[in-house]
Amino acid sequence: MDRAKLIELGIELLATVDIIKKQHGESELLNQAVSVSKAVLKKLRNMGVEIDFKRGSIYSEVSAERTRQLLKWGEQNHNPAEWLMILGEEVGEVNKASLEAHFSGYKNSGDYTEYRNELIQVAAVAVAMVECLDRTTSLGPVV
């Protein structure tokens, strides 16, 4: 297995373990996933690769948001222009949240929680766009 694939696998395993832990608590499946994750991480460290655990946690938040979107809207197959309108709407919500956190006079002034939540939604929509493109073209990753 090449280095890039191993890094991708390590990050995906970390995100998966985090999601399982959040949704189901401790379990045998989780313990197995942890064992596999540790083995991959050990191999990565031996190769001199450092894993950013916070990044893995952010990816798991994006993945959870993507699952929430899928449950809410089902599989969405839009063309790129339609997707960009949807992404633009989400970016607009980031702008609004940022504005309300930055300027005084808003009830959430100084609080960037909603700004962060909206950024996760933007990332999840971008993932949905890639998923759709991969479903409808031959541009998807080679597994």
Q: How far apart are CA 1 and CA 87, in angstroms?
A: 35
Tell me: does residue 123 bind Mg ion (CB under 5 A).
no
Phi and psi, residue 105, nearest 5°: 100, -15
CB of 72 to Mg ion, least distance (A): 12
Tell me: does residue 114 bind Mg ion (CB under 5 A).
no
Tell me: does residue 121 bind Mg ion (CB under 5 A).
yes
C-beta of 100 vs 118, nearer to Mg ion: 118
Tell me: does residue 93 bind Mg ion (CB under 5 A).
yes
Please, are residues 66 and 90 in contact by the beta-carbon 8 Å criterion? no
In this structure, what DSSP letter does residue 105 have? T
Ordered DSSP codes for 12-33: HHHHHHHHHHHHH-S-HHHHHH
Count residues near Mg ion (CB under 5 A).
Answer: 4
Tell me: does residue 128 bind Mg ion (CB under 5 A).
no
Chain positions contacting Mg ion, by CB under 5 A: 90, 93, 118, 121
